[in-house]
Structure 1
Amino acid sequence: MTSELDVDEILHRLTLKEMATLLSLSDFWHTAEVPRLGIPAIRLSDGPNGVRGTKFFRGVPAACLTSGTGMGATFNTDLLVEAGELMAEEARHKGAHVVLGPTCNMQRGPLGGRGFESFSEDPVLSGMAAASVIQGIQKSGIAATIKHFVCNDLEDERRSVNSIVSERALREIYLLPFQLAIKHANPRCLMTAYNKVNGEHASQSKGLLTDVLREEWGWDGLVMSDWFGVYSVKAAIDAGLDLECPGPPVVRKIDTLVHEVSSREVAITVVHDRVRRVLELVKHALKSGVPVDGKEDAENNTAETAAFARRLASEAVVLLKNEGKLLPLKPAAKIAVVGPNAKFARIFGGGSASMTPYYAVDIYSGVQSKVDYAVPYALGCSIEKNLLDLGKLSVYDGKQGVRCRIYKEPADCPQRTLIDEFHLDSTKLSLFDYKNAQLEGNLFFMDFEGELHAEEACEYEFGVCCLGTTLLFLNDELFIDDKTHQKLRKGGMGVCTVGDVRARHLEKGEVVRFRIEFGSAPTLRAGDADADGGGFMHVTAMKKEREDDLIARAREVAAAADCVVLCLGTSPDWESEGFDRTTMDLPGAQDRLVEEVLSVNRNVVAVNLSGTPVAMPWIDQVPAVVQGWFNGMESGNAIADVLFGDVNPSGKLSLSFPRRLEDNPAFLTFRSNKGEVVYGEDVFVGYRYYDKVGRPPLFAFGHGLSYTSFGLQNLAVSITQTTLVATVDVTNQGDIPGKEVVQLYVSPPETSEVERPKKELKGFRKVLVQPHATETVSIEVPLRYASSYFDAERHQWSVEKGEYMVLVGNSSASPLLSAKYELTKAEFWTGL
């Protein structure tokens, strides 16, 4: 097989069936191969915050990096290029030629289930962050995939919902990040969204995929669908969708596509165009040096990888509030750590972003590493939706976890065929991608064994739910039956059983032997399995503790400390692909926990781990607040570095935090109403809305404090025929080095023909300034991008003549330096 494919020659030699084969993946992660012509299969891998590889079940460990909103909060494009470079190196270790990231959708409001995956509510920050990550990924020949094109901004009925959006908002808010990423980074691949846009599924929209993407923007990469996001044969192929994902295809079945071509419903020339782009991607992949069908390994778990993950995470941390200079903490002080996110490392959100990390550092461990005494701790309350993973609480043969055996036949069969056996550290398993050469399909049976050792005398709750069938035995007695009488409910990624939760009293030191008998998805009795492959199983357990007792213990720990680090937030249970949040409120009793801790100790540092905004009704009483995001495997260390002042915080909010859910611009329309979602806020997303209606949010877009202070002065603005240039002096007025983010906004002429935002971010730059020093920062922005709005009447970008105001500061709500420029001639333009 040659490393250089002659695409034109191959196109002439392919049979129609071979071409049809190439237009979908062959399995979940690989393109199809045509050995006769030397066309190999290349590998794709998920990559919103780390390159997982080809497995959900028993995945090879990988580097887990900061989530999208955290990356956006760095406002550091150079750093994000480095993040992309690390993703590319990770891809090589996973044998992947294509990274399925970055995600570049918009946060219309705070409740989007996948909001944490994307960068920002602002299209310029989103587009430049995406471009930087793409540049890093593609430096060494790995292909990046920007997604999800376009308006995949909520999860509610995501495969069928119709996003109804004005052409102007579509262009200025939702398409602009993709436009900027293509202009500055030229990603090799693009993934379409599940949803409809103005009545047509994005994956079969000629207006989006051909008219805008191909012809107007001149982009010539490969367009793939999201997984199971193809809804037609002819419409999608004609529109420009090159690759159906995953395989074997649901829609582009070989015989169907051959029939469409032979009946002249689909033109062979269009098929050639689609196949050409697949072959061009394969050709590009072969040049990357990544072996085809390469092995996956975890050998990039190095000190260098850890150091970068920690540096990236620390720059993402945002200091929201610091009254009385409570931070940085002094190691000599007696510090207590309290809260449901203290000893649980909430390092990623749920769904495609989930993975098996090399390791995960929680906040408690990070704080403990900074002091020379045993840090007091209390849970305070629980935020687990489905109890804790029984496998994490159990042992088998002296090792944490359970023994798993997989058979062809069920447990009641007298003679069974054992096909697999291994040790697992979890009983919360996604099994849709389990494969075994001895299986002909997706039907298999798993037996698990382990022991639970009771730490104290109390009631323990056990829970079961699944996509398949599950029996849980305790000491050889059937305890929970999720097989005989099943009911279905909607789960995060499809359907699952309602299951059951039962309690059992255990004495301190009691050992409970348990056995789990699981049948894969085809054994489901309550209905048809709505999943590819083996389904999933969740078997969980937790001490049944009264909320009052947990909070009383937290009060006791807090009262004895000089300062309390109170670890709050959400988790993959609450922020995940597959569903949206229903409220901004912190889950569980966290708000009560804050009040109770404050009643005994006013020196509280609240650290919030969430991918998107949460309500903070206690904000006026808590002196110090830190936004820690879903911050990757080094999250605990990075947050501790900021808390103790080893790192001067420099993160800025990548999205506005409203005071109440009702205040956000999409409050009335952020859901599907019988298959429709109206983007009623139009172009007034995020800070654009708060500015326009004069309603200050709790924390503004771009806000973030430092342990030093900065002064901005001497703003100068000039324009050429093509470029706006702004320079400003940034002075560090304090005694320690620090990084400041200079943000450039532009206000439109007062004579504008249309209603426009009061100001819009057009450029930014992060700069390191030494104590009592001054750095001159220069920001250049293409003049058209700085000055335009999209004229829906002309279907073109419009540059109005008139006087524009340049506003420069360190947040969207900070005092802003201002200067003017004037355009004496109007113009219209299209494309990049």
Structure 2
Amino acid sequence: MSDWFGIYSIDLSINAGLDLEMPGTNKWRILDLMNRSIGSRKLTVRTVKERARKVVELAKRILDGDGVERTVESAEDTALMRKVAAESIVLLKNTNGLLPLNPNKIKTIAIVGGNAKAVVLSGGGSAALKPSYFVSPYDGVTAALPQGVEVLYSEGASTYMEMPTLDYELFTLSGERGWTGTWYAHQDDESMSALNTPYSTRLVDETRIFISTSAPKGITRRWTMRLEGELKPRERDCLFEFGLTVAGRAKLFVDGQLVIDNWTRQRRGQSFFSTGSMEEKGRVALKAGIKHHILVEFCNVRAPADNDEDEMVMDSNPGVRLGGREDGRGGGDREEG
């Protein structure tokens, strides 16, 4: 198996025994180029069949049941995973036996660091996993405290390169976690005008989306996608900073107002395997206790940029990432546990 976009030839990789071109949307091993390689005797039919046979053998070996991807969850598995996670924590020093803290003797406790509230469970890319449930350190600590304990929280120094994703902050209009993705075909393959009738609609449960794996079959080469949901109500009035990154082009609207334009012009970045834009940011004043409407309008044609006016169609790797956080520049927060 190759690394993502790690193939730069047809015959060399196949003759060397490489079975699978990743990430699955072939750029080299397409029918026309394969036929040309066989016709020019750079490849033999026998070698191609050997590579294909290995892929079929792999698929048969890992096929589970009906082949539909799903999460298998049990109370026993959950208990075991929690036990393993807890036992992996190593206490390097415990001066004067300070730990464990006695909740009944605590009057005030300070929690510092953005990761106390963030969903940080696994690595990125292929190492990213979706949990069946999640309890943040902040929620776990505050839930263990008796009533009347004063909780002080401060984000401290920011430790992220991009705004944290909003996977657990967005809900559909019907209340499901995630947001609704609606695809619209364009008038034709070369048109930038989307049709009014939806082509396909489905639930999207994350805000960092590689759309190449989920775009509906048969849609026009150029298409538009609208991602719509509601931001979980804030506990207090605050400024909220959003970040929008795309491999394509996109706009962010909050309560109908344009907040980020990553559509008209862009700054090229390293996101989405170096095909995407840099993160563009915008801030919005949010009211406590109110659900705020979020809409991202996305098109799989990237926008022009300085020194690069190419408005390339993202055939194989379109994507969009929405992140955000409460602006913590106002200092720490006080809460009653």
TM-score interval, normalised by the smaller of the two chains: 0.7 to 0.9
Question: C-alpha offsets along residues 173-197 of structure 1, whole Å, 9 cap, x if unaligned?
Answer: xxxxxxxxxxxxxxxxxxxxxxxxx
User: 1:303 deviation in Å?
Assistant: 0.3
Q: What does residue 314 of structure 1 align with?
A: 86
SS in 2 for 1:522: coil
Whichever residue aligns with residue 473 of structure 1, its letter is: F
The residue aligned with 1:518 is 298
Which residue of the other structure, out of 196, 214, 237, is the alignment partner of 1:416? Answer: 196
Which residue pairs with 2:64 in the alignment?
290
Provide Cα deviations, 1:182-234, integer angstroms capped at 9, x if missing partner.
Answer: xxxxxxxxxxxxxxxxxxxxxxxxxxxxxxxxxxxxxxxxxx22232222233
TM-score scaled by structure 1?
Answer: 0.34
| Equivalent position of 2:130 in the other structure | 356
1:233–1:466 Cα change, 3 Å: closer
Matches of 1:500 and 1:289, distance apart in 2: 41
Pair 327,432 (structure 1): closer, same or farther in 2 beyond 3 Å:
same
Q: Is the 8 A contact 1:336 1:377 kept in 2?
A: yes
Opposite residue 256 of structure 2, the aligned amino acid is: D
Alignment partners' CA distance in 2, 1:546 and 1:238: 57
Once the two structures are superposed, the pairs formed by residues 569-648 of structure 1 within 5 Å of their partners are none
Which residue number in structure 2 is paired with residue 709 of structure 1? none
Query: Residue 183 of structure 2: which of 387, 406, 431 is its match?
Result: 406
2:19 partner SS:
coil
Q: 1:225 to 1:530 in 2, by over 3 A?
A: farther
The answer to whether structure 1 residue 327 and structure 2 residue 103 are counterparts is: no
Cα distance in 2, alignment partners of residues 392 and 317 from structure 1? 25
d(CA) in 1 for partners of 2:49, 2:172? 56
TM-superposed deviation, 1:418: 0.8
Tell me: CA distance 1:531–1:310, structure 2 relative to 1, closer, same or farther (3 Å): farther
Structure 1: which 5+ runs fail to align?
Answer: 1-223, 562-832
1:509 positional shift: 5.7
CA distance in 2 between counterparts of 1:233 and 1:415 reads 38
Tell me, which stretches of 5 or more residues in structure 2 are unaligned? none
Counterpart position of 2:319: 536
The one of 242, 257, 263 equivalent to 1:483 is 263
Aligned residues: 324
Distance in 2 between the 1:530 and 1:355 partners? 29
Cα distance in 1, alignment partners of residues 31 and 194 from structure 2: 41
Structure 2 equivalent of residue 251 of structure 1:
28
* Alpha-carbon contact 1:401-1:423 (below 8 Å) kept: yes
Q: Is the alpha carbon distance of 1:451 and 1:481 closer, same or farther for their aligned partners in structure 2, counting shifts above 3 Å?
A: same
Aligned-pair distance for 1:470?
A: 1.5
Counterparts of 1:247 and 1:541 in 2: how far apart (Å)?
A: 30
Q: Does 1:459 align with 2:239?
A: yes
Say which of 111, 119, 127 aligns to 1:345: 119
Matched, 1:379 2:154: yes
Separation in 1, partners of 2:237, 2:199: 39
1:241 paired to 2:15? no
- Structure 2 CA distance for aligned equivalents of residues 385 and 249 of structure 1: 30
CA distance in 2: counterparts of 1:391 and 1:318, whole angstroms: 29
Change (3 A) 1:314 1:543: closer
Listed one character per residue, the Cα deviations across residues 642-685 of structure 1 (whole Å, up to 9, x for unaligned) are: xxxxxxxxxxxxxxxxxxxxxxxxxxxxxxxxxxxxxxxxxxxx
2:270 alignment partner, SS class: strand
Q: Rate the CA distance shift 1:513–1:309 in 2: closer, same or farther, 3 A.
A: closer
The letter for the 1-side match of 2:109 is A
Q: Distance in 2 between matches of 1:353 and 1:372?
A: 37
Partner-residue secondary structure (3-state), 1:459: strand
**Contact 1:407-1:418 within 8 A present in 2 as well:** yes
Q: CA deviation at 1:512?
A: 4.8
**In the aligned structure 2, how far is the partner of 1:414 from the partner of 1:259?**
36
Distance in 2 between the 1:258 and 1:226 partners?
24
The structure-2 alpha-carbon separation of the partners of 1:226 and 1:320, relative to structure 1 and needing over 3 Å to count, comes to same
**Alignment match, 1:731:** none
Q: Distance in 2 between matches of 1:396 and 1:442?
A: 26
The residue number in structure 1 matching 2:211 is: 431
CA distances 1:66-115 after superposition (whole Å, capped 9, x unpaired): xxxxxxxxxxxxxxxxxxxxxxxxxxxxxxxxxxxxxxxxxxxxxxxxxx
SS of corresponding position for 2:92: strand
Asked if the contact 1:452/1:513 (under 8 Å) is kept, the reply is no
CA–CA distance in structure 2, aligned partners of residues 490 and 289 of structure 1 = 34
What's the offset of the Cα at 1:454?
Answer: 5.5
Question: Which amino acid is the alignment partner of residue 306 of structure 1?
Answer: T
TM-score by length of 2: 0.76
Contact 2:183 2:225 in 1 (8 A): yes
Say if 1:431 and 1:333 are closer, same or farther in 2 by CA, change over 3 A. farther
- Is residue 303 from structure 1 mapped to residue 69 from structure 2 by the alignment? no
Query: Considering only CA atoms, is the larger Rg found in Structure 1 or Structure 2?
Result: 1
The answer on whether the counterparts of 1:463 and 1:501 sit within 8 Å (CA) in structure 2 is: yes
Q: What is the DSSP-based 3-state SS (H/G/I as helix, E as strand, rest coil) of the residue aligned with 2:216?
A: coil
What is the letter of the counterpart of residue 77 of structure 2?
Answer: T
Q: Secondary structure, in 3 states, of the residue corresponding to 1:439?
A: coil
Give the residue type in structure 2 aligned to 1:418: P
- Quote the Cα distance in structure 2 between the aligned partners of 1:439 and 1:461: 34
- Which residue in the other structure is 1:546 paired with? 329
CA shift, 1:424, in A, is 4.7
Q: Identify which of 244, 248, 269 aligns with 1:468.
A: 248
One-letter identity of the residue aligned with 2:199:
I
Do structure 1's residue 336 and structure 2's residue 115 form an aligned pair? no
Q: Provide closer, same or farther for how the CA distance between residues 450 and 537 of structure 1 changes in structure 2, counting only shifts above 3 A.
A: same
How many percent identity over aligned positions?
Answer: 27
